[in-house]
Amino acid sequence: MEYQFAKRMSNVKASAIREILKATSDPKMISFAGGNPSAEAFPVEEIEKISADILTNEPISVLQYGITEGDQELIQAATHFFNRHEQVMKADDQMIITSGSQQIMEFAAKILCNEGDVVICENPSFLGALNAFKSLGAVLRGIEYKNGQLDLEALKQALQMEPKPKFMYLIPNFQNPTGMTMSLEVRKEILKLAKDNGVLILEDNPYGDLRFEGEAIPSIKSLDEDGLVIYAASLSKIIAPGMRVACCIAPKAIIQKMTVAKQASDVHSNLWAQKVMARYLQNYDMDAHIERIRMIYKQKCHLMLDEMKKHFHPDVQYTIPTGGMFIWVTLPESVDMLTFVKKALEKNVAVVPGNAFLDDDTKECHSFRMNYSTPTNEKIKEGVKILGEITYEMLSISS
Amino acid sequence: MEYQFAKRMSNVKASAIREILKATSDPKMISFAGGNPSAEAFPVEEIEKISADILTNEPISVLQYGITEGDQELIQAATHFFNRHEQVMKADDQMIITSGSQQIMEFAAKILCNEGDVVICENPSFLGALNAFKSLGAVLRGIEYKNGQLDLEALKQALQMEPKPKFMYLIPNFQNPTGMTMSLEVRKEILKLAKDNGVLILEDNPYGDLRFEGEAIPSIKSLDEDGLVIYAASLSKIIAPGMRVACCIAPKAIIQKMTVAKQASDVHSNLWAQKVMARYLQNYDMDAHIERIRMIYKQKCHLMLDEMKKHFHPDVQYTIPTGGMFIWVTLPESVDMLTFVKKALEKNVAVVPGNAFLDDDTKECHSFRMNYSTPTNEKIKEGVKILGEITYEMLSISS
């Protein structure tokens, strides 16, 4: 039988990262390619204790069918948690619990985009989100960076192009893959542009709590008084990703449509995970826990940056993150990035080729992404040294 | 802000059942409207024990990110389990673990159907699946029943109509909502029609193991040697639905496409649930457990049927299920079904109006669905008596 697949899937490839990660199952491989939180950061004992308590005292509450919007206890606890430093949940807003924030990206495109509708994204941006949009027939319009911030002139133009975009997908804090953070001024300006043009914003904030330097910058959601922002908040990076729990906060009409989409998609998210997360948020000191994660990531990030400074050819550029999990490395134009990545893989070091994160992955790209949250300190030292050797090897050939 | 939603969502309404179930949160209400497995049937102590063991000895395996296809241990255990009485997994097949079988329905439509493509379904059929297909722009073509079996003549015609259907969605065992079971002859004939017309079958079998009378009939998947069948097997009805774990078995090319869809949808399913299910399948006697559920359902089904025989007006017809969870009740044409359902709700008994399960819910319908797996024996007696009184009341008015 020859299978005929839907057009919408033809632009969605199996993730480049995934393919690289397959190679990294080799225990010899040093992987800077993943985006996994550090396993040291999981509150293992607390989860064990909460889980035992739930399964002993109220097992049916997590084994029977639940409601689509999510566990009411988690919605309350998460609302309190995400509102603790700034008001992301407004009077007209509602929350839905999803199976990871990947599902928020899919639902946003599913409820908002007709086939061929345009979504504006940062260029580069989070591959999983771009694939979700494409898998529902949306077309990407990428906006480049200029001097470390999104190019607002290019954004203005993109907003005025036909067809009018359905929403802008943005990761303002410690962006994936660049590790860069949007300034308050740029956030305000983008919100104004959204309002002037009647275009929604999908603000993805999985890393916001992972700031290890500098002051927190208000989310675009907290600045919005006009129902323009769909906010994706995740518990994957601050509790545990394998549980697949995220929270979407948005105006009621949007959450109601997402609820219908979720009902048709997976009915509701795993209840054990929701209940465990609710009790963890209620009964433990989240800010102390987050502070512990921040210290782990700060140390790992600085170690990687120090080693890069020591070993990388001085013509190689990279971002200096103040939070999150990623460093974005840019090679001189004379060096072919894909050849570099291939050489690294041959020497058992995995990084992700930057073109994987572009609105169009056939565009020329001299960057790649490095992750510091997953590897051990030893692997960071060992892997960066090897990458450094390749920078010298390739730059001496090219010059 | 006025929100413009995607066209694909405009045909998907918040589930009629859901709306009725909201009314049933009233503790006075006797609900025959749900489709929940009986909570008595959950292997609570075993799940508690397995979970504690996993969270103590290998917590990171369920807290870190996992792979999209699913936990390898579960895939092995589930393959062995679903193949134990018949061969559903063929040499060219593969399995993907999904977040409930609702997600299989969504992925099937997502990877196979372009906007406007036709899906053939039984009429009536499972509302959740119909909504999943519609939410991806598919158009339903419903096939009626005739003398207790699907009308094959009508199916033949539907297969030849333009545009050619993408797949047939079928629930051969103890169908939702009718409780009816497809004969072996009809299964064979449908498979032949699928082959002759080059149209896939999506076989949904959530209730197959819940047979409490008669002999098991081979699944269409087990009869297929041509890669024509996508098989949805669920652990919700035989372990626990709140865990959201199902297994899709289909030819490799289809599972690979589903994997790309799942990556863009929720990355992977909750790992705790997958690992607990794997260990339960490996270490406990599933067939003894299933036998226990069957006995519970057999008793409840017979009780409901006995009470219906005692209390319902003799002109009311209903199916006699040999497994599953549902009875399909048909009122004489003189009685307005929606008025009946409303009267029942006023007297605190909830059933689901049958038109909710049709390809087009504005069609005339004299049937409603009753569930016997969720209510207690006492509630079954009490509720059926009330419904019986309404049948007499409305039939004496109409005659």
| Residue A150 is assigned to a structural domain of this protein | yes
What is the share, in percent, of chain A residues with pLDDT greater than 70?
A: 96
The C-alpha of A166 sits at a distance from chain B's nearest C-alpha, in angstroms, of: 9
**Whether residue A220 is found in the same domain as residue A90:** yes
Tell me, yes or no, if B376 comes closer than 8 A to chain A by beta carbon. Answer: no
Rounded Cα distance, A299 and A293, in Å: 10
Are B244 and A266 a contacting pair at CB < 8 A?
yes
**How many angstroms separate the CA atoms of A376 and A370, rounded?**
14
| 3-state SS assignment for residue A140 | strand
What is the pLDDT, as a whole number, of residue A17?
A: 66
Q: Residue A345 belongs to a domain with what CATH number?
A: 3.90.1150.10
Q: Is residue A208 part of a domain?
A: yes
- Inter-residue long-range contacts of A71-74, CB under 8 Å, 24+ positions, other chains counted: A71/A97, A71/A271, A71/A274, A71/A275, A71/A278, A73/A275, A73/A278, A73/A279, A73/A282, A74/A245, A74/A274, A74/A275, A74/A277, A74/A278, A74/A281
ipTM for this model = 0.95
Does A241 share its domain with A94?
Answer: yes
* pLDDT tens across the length of chain B (399 residues): 889 999 999 888 766 666 666 666 678 899 999 889 988 889 999 999 999 999 999 999 999 999 999 999 999 999 999 999 999 999 999 999 999 999 999 999 999 999 999 999 999 999 999 999 999 999 999 999 998 899 999 999 999 999 999 999 999 999 999 999 999 999 999 999 999 999 999 999 999 999 999 999 999 999 999 999 999 999 999 999 999 999 999 999 999 999 999 999 999 999 999 999 999 999 999 999 999 999 999 999 999 999 999 999 999 999 999 999 999 999 999 999 999 999 999 999 999 999 999 999 889 999 999 999 999 999 999 999 999 999 999 998 765
Selecting from A39, A102, A272 the residue whose C-beta is nearest the C-beta of B60 gives: A39
B-chain CB neighbours of A4 within 8 Å are 112, 166
The answer to whether B133 touches B113, Cβ cutoff 8 Å, is yes
CA dist list (Å): A393 to A72, A389, B65: 57, 6, 35
CATH number at residue B118: 3.40.640.10
Distance from C-alpha of A36 to C-alpha of A44, rounded to nearest angstrom: 16
Answer yes or no: do B161 and B79 share one domain: yes
Say if B312 falls within a structural domain.
yes
Q: Which residues pair with B170 in a beta bridge?
A: B203
Cβ atoms of A174 and A324 closer than 8 Å: yes
Q: Are residues B258 and B373 located together in one domain of the fold?
A: no
Asked, for residue A52, whether it belongs to a domain, the answer is no
Q: Which two tokens stand for residue A392?
A: 């010298």
Check: CB of residue A82 under 8 Å from CB of residue A208.
Answer: no
Q: Which residues of A touch B34 (CB under 8 A)?
A: 65
Residue matched to tokens 């033809």: A10
Residue A2 placed within a domain: no
Residue finishing a domain among B285, B307, B330: B285
Instruction: Say yes or no for a CB contact (<8 Å) between A242 and B6.
Output: no
How far is residue A65 CA from its own chain's centroid?
Answer: 29
- Residue-by-residue DSSP string for A167-204: EEEE--SS-TTT-----HHHHHHHHHHHHHHT-EEEEE
Chain A residues touching residue B14 (CB < 8 angstroms) = 256, 259-260, 263
- Whether B168 and B120 map to the same domain: the answer is yes
> Nearest Cα to B233, choosing from B216, B251, B247?
B247
Residue A94 sits in the same domain as residue A211: yes
A14 touches B: beta carbon within 8 Å: yes
Q: Do A211 and A64 fall within a single domain?
A: yes
What are the helix and strand counts (H, E) for chain A?
A: 14, 15
Q: What is the mean pLDDT of residues A121-137?
A: 97
* Cα of B247 to nearest chain A Cα, Å: 13
**Last residue in a domain, options B266, B285, B304:** B285
Q: Of B254, B285, B316, at which residue does a domain stop?
A: B285
| Spatial separation of the C-alpha atoms in residues A257 and A112, rounded to whole Å | 9
Q: Mean of the pLDDT values across residues A183-202? A: 98
Answer for the pair A143, A122: CB distance below 8 angstroms, yes or no.
yes
Peptide bond into B177 cis (omega under 30): yes
Residue A55 lies in a domain: no
Q: Are strands A93-98 and A246-251 parallel, antiparallel or unpaired?
A: antiparallel
For residue B33, the enclosing domain spans: 7-42+288-398
Judge if A222 and A313 occupy the same domain.
no
Nearest C-alpha in A relative to B235: A63
Nearest to A116 by CA among B107, B13, B7, B257: B7
Task: Return the H-helix or E-strand segment holding B234.
Answer: strand B229-234
Taking the CB of residue B201, how many other CB atoms lie within 10 A of it?
24
Mutate to test the interface with B, among A64, A90, A106, A133 (most CBs of B within 10 A): A64
Is B1 in Cβ contact with A198 (below 8 Å)?
yes
Pairing of strands A30-31, B352-353: unpaired
Query: CB neighbours (10 Å) of residue B57?
Result: 8
In a domain, A182, yes or no: yes
Amino acid, res. B157:
Q
Cα distances (angstroms) measured from residue B314 to each of B94, B116, B317, B351, B396: 49, 43, 8, 19, 12
Asked whether residue B93 falls in the same domain as residue B226, the answer is: yes
Look at residue A16 in the predicted model and tell me its pLDDT.
Answer: 65
**How does pLDDT run across B251-297, given as a tens digit for each residue?**
999 999 999 999 999 999 999 999 999 999 999 999 999 999 999 99
DSSP A81-101: HHTSSS--S-TTEEEEEESST
What's residue B21's pLDDT?
Answer: 65
Identify whether residues A216 and A105 lie together within a single domain.
Answer: yes
* Total structural domains within chain B: 2
Whether residues A128 and A29 fall in one domain: no
Rg of chain B, C-alpha, whole Å: 21
- CB contact under 8 Å between B18 and A271, yes or no, is no
Residue B292 lies in a domain: yes
Do A233 and A177 share a structural domain? yes
Euclidean distance between CA atoms B299 and B6, whole angstroms: 46
Per-residue b or e along B170-197, where b marks 16 or more CB atoms closer than 10 Å to that residue's CB: bbbbbbbbbbbbbeeebbebbbebbeeb
